[in-house]
Structure 1
Amino acid sequence: MAPITPESADVGANPQDLAEKAQDDTKGSDSDEASKEPDASPWDWNKDPENPYNWPAGRKAMQIAITASIAFLTSLGTSIMSSSPSQLKAEFGVTTTQSILPLSLYVFALGLGPVVGGPLSETVGRLPVYIGGLIGGGLFTLGAALVHSFAGLNILRFLAGVFFAPSLAIGAGTINEMYQPQHRGLPATLFILMPFLGPGVAPIMGAFITHRKGWRWTQWTMLFFLAFCLLLTVPFGRETFHPILQRRRAKQLNHPLPPAPSRRHQIKEFLTITVLRPLLMLVTEPIVGLICLYVACEFATLFTFFAAVPYIFEGVYHFSVEQSGLVFVSVVIGCLLGSLTIILCEVLLYRPQIPRHPPHMVPPEYRLYPAMLGSLGLPVALFWMAWTSRPEVHWISPILAIIPFAWGNLCVFISLVQFTVDTYSGSVVASAVAAGSLTRYGLAGAFPLFTIQMYNKLGIAWATSLLGFISIALLPVPWVFFKYGKKIRSYSHYETPTY
């Protein structure tokens, strides 16, 4: 397959601009090209039926189902072993902190998704990365189910995460390549729901599986879900990356192809987009830095629940392993309510702005309504949970407190990600997303490793309150961006909208 062009190396590049570039290149054919008798008929990629924007609704829905299923499988692996530490300690003779390593290392690996998946998918295509990731992740998950060494288990879990991770990185790109900005709200919400729904469903499944069948069956369960994803992806998956589809279409129509970039240029683009620029944006771009900090802290707080919930409900209310797992139903309910809130804000607050502004020029700040609402729910939920998790208060109270936390967490995440995507353009979007993934999964993997120690030292009330104080400190972020977003954007070192 021919290498991609320099223009198509941008993850967030506008496909319409790429199409125009391809058309301009075809117009400049010289007499030598004419001797090859290329098809002289006009070709408009924007109207071409192979353009994912022009696909039938059913085909688009199938691709959303595929990406969402793979994202759910990937996120399932984060916490399906959350009830396994006691069995790991007994089988391998490790400490409590060490027994959490298979969970944390998998989460750390997910932070590598944008680094590995983005550039690779722009070279070979989105679809091969989805299929290759499923096959590779499946093989390492199979190894984790069969391994008899604790070190081997950690290595295999990490490698499984590395292979599954790209699906989270390129899923948003798949959606952007099928839907114009004004139509992305619902499919993007459904896709982003999966990385939050997985950590809510997985502990429930994991608790029953671990208690009744043993921890190894958590990995076999992952393989069952993986088989379902492959059955969807292999026969029904379609490539969506515009530059690759344009090249294929140009060959079919016998149109000249744009010149390919050098390997040196591709390596430079890779290092810039996925390594150097994300780190630079974290410290020089207030929008990226604050959003990454806010989202990472609240996402990591969700992951503390994998250790904190069993600690609280088994220690205070004497729940069984399975009953503690069922507590995470509240996370699922909160995520579903958060998705509903995002959709309502999209329909009632964002879409009415579209006719009032030029095409594709709605100010990014209109994406922030869900984040402003969710930012209020996070501290309320954490303090509620902190001071009602005691024997004299019924167990239903701290369980109910988790619902507004999960609701607010999803609202904050989706809203701020949409704000970031609307704020930056081209490959800068990919760098901002990479920075978010590295910080989010880095903190999420680290928090469970010290959660039990923190709860032992501070007690349930103050340990959970500490998380609440962090959410209060970061609460103003979406409100400040809503009020002063345009001014803050004007100070950016990168191109941002001026409207």
Structure 2
Amino acid sequence: MAYELEKASTHHTTQPGEPAARTPTAQDWTGPGDAENPMNWSLTKRTLHMIPIAFLAFAVTAGSSLITPATEEIAQHFHVSVTAAILSLSLFVVGLGIGPIIAAPLSEHFGRNAVYVTTAPVYMLFILGAGFSKSFGGLLVCRLLAGIAGGPVLAVGSGTTADMFPTRIRAIPASIYIMAPFLGPALGPVIGGFAAQYKGYKWTQWSTIFIGLVAWALVLPMQETYKKTILQRRAKRLNIPPPPTPHLGLLPYARKILRLTVARPLGMLFTEPIVLFFSLYISFVFSVLFALFAAFPYTFRRVYGFNTWQSGLTFLSIGLGNLLGLIMFVVLDRRVYARKHAEAVTRDQKAIAPEHRLYGAMIGAPGVAIGLFWFAWTARSSVHWISPVLAGVPFAFGNMGIFVSSALYMIDVYGPLSGASALAANGLARYTMAAGFPLFTIQMYSSLGIDWATSLLGFVSVLFLPIPFIFFKYGPQIRRKSRYNIVTV
């Protein structure tokens, strides 16, 4: 590609009857067929770029829960309560919420690949520090910093997906990427259970590093996908004017970043009903998922006498539910959304109503409540253990459907820029709430019992259940009252 551009820059004459040579530029793509535009890459190449970032997101989020099977050992080793030991999970989750704020300036200045290549080793170094920590405080600090260092991939990864896939075919690759942060926490306890049972709590950290190393090795060969960075490199390579960029001082730039990553998301969270209600709903079901990291071991050890690795295996049902949720969404996208989009094209409409993204949430929402009540009233010694294990399937199925549908809905409503702020607001709420839930789960289950503690969560999920149905029906009226430049149909 460099040779072709350099050749074009030195030969501008054309023979009679031949099309005019395209002048290289770094102000924008040279045209719809620009070979450096990631959307023009082959499907195979784009897939080989999507899988590594999805696996890196999986590796980071698996690191949050991989330590949870060792909670009781950590409590005994450092002479703290089990609740205090759960802070090793909660502070990591807090870090995952903070990390994306750091990702914005890094990605803006150095490109998306630089974020993957540099933050992953820092993440693993802090995990290494957690494993070698001699004090409980040192363990917690390293876990918090590891979460912060690992968090950027969760924000930048969705940008990479958007760089490579146009809107009309983005749903499936975006769903696969989105599944990774759900599959990671679900499978973390499965791996951590064996590590904690046979090697001790430190091996939960070594295992996290091994997974991270594989993920990091996969992202190293990746090419840059961020348009601004690609054009800047093209300008430098061909010695032509770079794309225009505003020159801001350090303080104005810091204000801009804070406005985009904190102020605007918080503003949308409190002024936009779509962002507020879907953020509350997603935050709740995501927090219940993290509460299960304490509730599952508590239940299966006390009721069924499971050991550490057996308790970890129960989370396979969560992973299965996530996969089924992804399959459901792919089928809906191909059979329903794609058909409606094609019908809209025949009517000369440039887009279809964003509410069509909510089918997955409407199907999945009952699954969350069903899974919680199923678990609540079958987790007893008179009922075989497989029944409460299987209850995790509809819960995770619904969780996946709600999140993917809601995320795509907000992007379709607000467009790329404001949609990113809406998702940032969702992320802040989601990880803040998820960090707190595991800290009171054990006390709640001890006081209310497994049945009523889980039923309480089920009743709350029933209160949230109508949200996707309400927005499916009244979404157009609500969108018209938005303060932001929403996408028109």
Q: TM-score, normalised by structure 2?
A: 0.91
Which residue is 2:222 aligned to?
Answer: 237
Question: For residue 77 of structure 2, what is the amino acid of its counterpart?
Answer: E
CA distance in 2, matches of 1:494, 1:52: 29
Residues 1:62 and 2:48 are matched in the alignment: yes
CA distance in 2, matches of 1:491, 1:394: 52
Percent of aligned pairs sharing the same letter: 43
Question: For residue 328 of structure 2, what is the amino acid of its counterpart?
Answer: T
CA distance in 2, matches of 1:337, 1:441: 24
User: How does 1:348-497 map onto structure 2 within 5 Å?
Assistant: 348-358=335-345, 361-497=351-487
Question: For residue 221 of structure 1, what is the amino acid of its counterpart?
Answer: S
Cα displacement (A) at 1:258: 4.0
CA distance in 1, matches of 2:132, 2:125: 11
CA distance in 1, matches of 2:23, 2:39: 24
Cα displacement (A) at 1:351: 0.4
Question: For residue 249 of structure 1, what is the amino acid of its counterpart?
Answer: R
Which residue is 1:248 aligned to?
Answer: 233
Closer/same/farther in 2, CA of residues 248 and 444 from structure 1, 3 Å limit: same
Alignment counterpart, residue 276 of structure 2, candidates 285, 289, 301:
289
Conserved 8 A contact 2:39-2:165: yes
CA distance in 2, matches of 1:306, 1:49: 46
Unmatched runs of 5 consecutive residues or more in structure 2:
1-21
Which residue is 2:245 aligned to?
Answer: 260
User: How does 1:262-281 map onto structure 2 within 5 Å?
Assistant: 262-264=247-249, 265-281=252-268
User: How does 1:202-221 map onto structure 2 within 5 Å?
Assistant: 202-221=188-207
Which residue is 1:226 aligned to?
Answer: 212
Closer/same/farther in 2, CA of residues 320 and 261 from structure 1, 3 Å limit: same
Cα displacement (A) at 1:491: 0.7
Question: For residue 119 of structure 2, what is the amino acid of its counterpart?
Answer: G
How many pairs are equivalent? Answer: 460
Conserved 8 A contact 1:107-1:441: yes
Question: For residue 380 of structure 1, what is the amino acid of its counterpart?
Answer: I
Which residue is 2:71 aligned to?
Answer: 85
Cα displacement (A) at 1:290: 0.5
CA distance in 2, matches of 1:298, 1:383: 14
> Deviations 1:168-222 (Å, cap 9, x if unpaired)?
1111110000000111122111111111111111111111110100010111111
Conserved 8 A contact 2:69-2:308: yes
Which residue is 1:196 aligned to?
Answer: 182
Conserved 8 A contact 2:24-2:30: no
Conserved 8 A contact 1:273-1:430: no
Conserved 8 A contact 1:374-1:411: yes
Report the 3-state secondary structure (helix = DSSP H, G, I; strand = E; otherwise coil) of the residue aligned with 2:304: coil
Cα displacement (A) at 1:448: 0.4
User: How does 1:136-175 map onto structure 2 within 5 Å?
Assistant: 136-175=122-161
CA distance in 1, matches of 2:457, 2:24: 63
Cα displacement (A) at 1:360: 5.2
Which residue is 1:300 aligned to?
Answer: 287
CA distance in 1, matches of 2:24, 2:89: 56
Deviates more, 1:39-48 or 1:349-358: 39-48
Cα displacement (A) at 1:381: 1.3
Which residue is 1:184 aligned to?
Answer: 170
Report the 3-state secondary structure (helix = DSSP H, G, I; strand = E; otherwise coil) of the residue aligned with 1:262: coil
Alignment counterpart, residue 116 of structure 2, candidates 130, 154, 164:
130
CA distance in 2, matches of 1:220, 1:163: 17
Aligned-residue Cα RMSD (Å) equals: 1.5
Alignment counterpart, residue 86 of structure 2, candidates 77, 91, 100:
100
CA distance in 2, matches of 1:187, 1:426: 16
CA distance in 2, matches of 1:196, 1:159: 21
Question: For residue 142 of structure 2, what is the amino acid of its counterpart?
Answer: L
Which residue is 2:312 aligned to?
Answer: 325
Closer/same/farther in 2, CA of residues 376 and 40 from structure 1, 3 Å limit: closer
Which residue is 1:334 aligned to?
Answer: 321
Unmatched runs of 5 consecutive residues or more in structure 1:
1-38
CA distance in 2, matches of 1:375, 1:118: 32
Closer/same/farther in 2, CA of residues 447 and 488 from structure 1, 3 Å limit: same
Conserved 8 A contact 2:337-2:357: yes
> Deviations 1:90-132 (Å, cap 9, x if unpaired)?
1110011111111110011101132111232111110111111
Cα displacement (A) at 1:85: 1.4
- With CA pairs under 8 Å and 6+ residues apart, which has the higher RCO, 1 or 2? 1
Conserved 8 A contact 1:45-1:246: no
Question: For residue 160 of structure 1, what is the amino acid of its counterpart?
Answer: A
Question: For residue 297 of structure 1, what is the amino acid of its counterpart?
Answer: F
Cα displacement (A) at 1:55: 1.2
Question: For residue 212 of structure 1, what is the amino acid of its counterpart?
Answer: Y
